[in-house]
Chain A
Amino acid sequence: MSQMIIANRLVDGLVVFMTAAGSWAESIADGVLIPDEAPDGDESERLLEVGKDGERDCLVIDACLIEVEERNGVRTPTSYREEIRARGPSIQAEVN
């Protein structure tokens, strides 16, 4: 299963994904994908360490790995919790 690094941004708490450049993007499509069979098997560990650097640099909180897959051509976390986290609440338009 492919993986990504997800976190919350420190200043505003918004969900962010680590990019290939080691920065943080709000869209899952802009995040770096760690392929299922990365040539170097330690890639996810290495990127997670970059995520932890982001925590130490006061950019993000709780950087961690999530599993993602392509669903109908859209990159989607496999767990529905992370899916909701990536997409936002399923009910936004219904406020009283």
Chain B
Amino acid sequence: MYRYDEFDHQIVGERVAQFRRQVARRLNGEMNEDQFKPLRLMNGLYLQLHAYMLRVNVPYGCLSSKQLRKLAHIARRYDKGFGHFTTRQNIQYNWIKLEETPDILAELAEVEVTAIQSSGNCVRNITADQYAGRARDEIEDPRVWAEILRQYSILNPEFSYLPRKFKFALTGSPHDRAAVAVHDIGLRMHHNTAGEPGFEVLVGGGQGRTPVIAKTIREWIEPEHVVSYVEAILRIYNMYGRRDNIYKARIKILVNALGIDKFRELVDAEWEQIRDGLLKVAPEELQRIDAYFRPPEYEQLEDLDDELGRLREQDAAFGAWLTSNIIEHKVRGYAIVNLSLKAPGKIPGDISADKMDRVADLADQYSMGELRVSHRQNLVFVDVRQADLHALWRELDALELATPNIGFVSDVIACPGLDYCALADARSIPIAQDISRHFNDAKQLQEIGNLTINISGCVNACGHHHVGNIGILGANKRGKEFFQLTLGGSSDENASLGDRVGPGLPQAEVPAAIERMVDTYLDLRKPDERFLDTYRRIGMEPFKEVVYGPDGPKKRHP
């Protein structure tokens, strides 16, 4: 993991001291709310429905056990004893006091964690594949480049007042687990025809009220040029992006307005002027950052397929967990372990301070003290010896963190929704709870297989509903909560936006409608077809019919 040097410590320390003075001036009336709001947002502090919310960055989803213990301490000391992991791999606290925020930021700085640029019209937390550096299908560890981009973009004055927020995501694997196609800039590592690794650069993806799948602006770029190329994109956006209308200010709108070819022309012209300048990443700088991400010292071990197979036979619950929650590690004898934060009836992404502490202990004991946050709101241990899997499973099971549902129908993404969020139109969490209570049998989950359900409480789409295989969007219709369903969304390497099924349903009808759609899939699927594959093959009609009945939506909802 990256560790701060003296300059990092100084910069973050100064920032905390500055915010402490700003809070004092706000509390004593030297600043009004209009003056203060942009300053608090730049430090991650929102005012939500019930209290202030603090969003804390987890850069590219990477945490040490020490940092997690500090996050637990913050939850316990300054909040109500829990935190919420988000679709941007961050953690949010829902019950923060303004007057205590400078102390919280100072405590976070002790473990090299900040809330800088977790809000505002700037480059937000840079996200990446949660298995980065460990996945067997990976070309190279994208965290090296995520960290270089983080250092480049953090407190960069040229990009502190962009037209709107700006989100990066990176993947080093051909299988995209980081949803790069729905980010302002997505970087996807692959080999060029000469077999050299580099990045495909995607631009202008996003969700919100205008969902767009990103377009490829450059098929392949040498990694050393990625920062200068990104700078060229940001400069063009900064110059031509709209500032007159918040709903038209994201880069996706600019790319669509100009067309990708014209946009590329402008970027390339800008890039020509800077490509071999200061932003070209020098080999020694690359080496310096790369050193932080070198793999740990692994033991020489063999894969334990036979032994795990025996345990799988003996213990069905352990077997189900192996099937769904374990990912192949690039080093033999090791495994990547997903900790599900989606136990039946629980709030997706929420975890108590006590469990955070236990997870930190388990990370020390079983995963070399490191863990990850996934954009699907789960936690990951990346370096577990296969020989330890059974013991770890017992520990996680006791903590209700071993639900065997990663990537399955009950592994629901949900934004905080109207239970917390000031922007929301409807509640997301109760729907997610209904779904995870309803689909809670391990055998049934495996039978259904890979199926993502994503729920957002408003069109801002923090719950990624556009790219859920089944998307659920909450809306306020004449003072009542209604939920609109979409089908066919996906955020992987074949990303697609969901298609609207029809008019919204009241909350009580949503779980049954989902069950009927799942049944339809089970009836009509071909061997080895996932829900998404079946939907893409047979289309909307069979699903629509079971949602609204044979007479269609109008008869049912006059």
Contacts and interface: CB of A to CB of B under 8 A. Distances in A.
Given A12-B97, A12-B98, A84-B418, A91 B50 contact: no
Most buried by B among A11, A85, A89: A89
B479 A96 contact: no
Interface in B378-429: 400-401, 418-420, 427, 429
Interface residues of B, number: 40
Interface bin, chain A: 20 to 34
B419 A89 contact: yes
Contacts of A88: 50
B102 to A, nearest CB: 13
Given A58-B28, A85-B49, A13 B351 contact: no
Contact of A15 (B29, B50, B97, B350): B50
Nearest to A88: B50
Interface stretch (B105-113, B161-169, B341-349): B341-349
B97 A84 contact: no
Given A80-B479, A84-B418, A89-B420, A96 B343 contact: yes
A55 interface: yes
Given A58-B28, A95-B352, A96-B400, A14 B51 contact: yes
Interface in A72-96: 78-81, 84-85, 88-91, 94-96
A10 interface: yes
Contacts, number: 91
Contact of A58 (B29, B427, B430, B481): B29
A61 interface: yes
A13 B33 contact: no
B96 interface: yes
Interface string A3-27: 0000010111111000000000000
Given A13-B96, A95-B352, A96-B343, A85 B50 contact: yes
Contacts of B15: none
30 contacts: A8-B47, A10-B27, A11-B27, A12-B97, A12-B98, A13-B47, A13-B51, A13-B52, A15-B50, A56-B32, A58-B27, A61-B33, A62-B33, A78-B479, A79-B479, A80-B418, A81-B49, A89-B419, A89-B420, A94-B345, A94-B433, A95-B82, A95-B347, A95-B351, A95-B352, A96-B346, A96-B350, A96-B351, A96-B352, A96-B355
Interface of B: 26-29, 32-33, 47-52, 81-82, 96-99, 341, 343, 345-347, 350-352, 355, 400-401, 418-420, 427, 429-430, 433, 476, 479-481
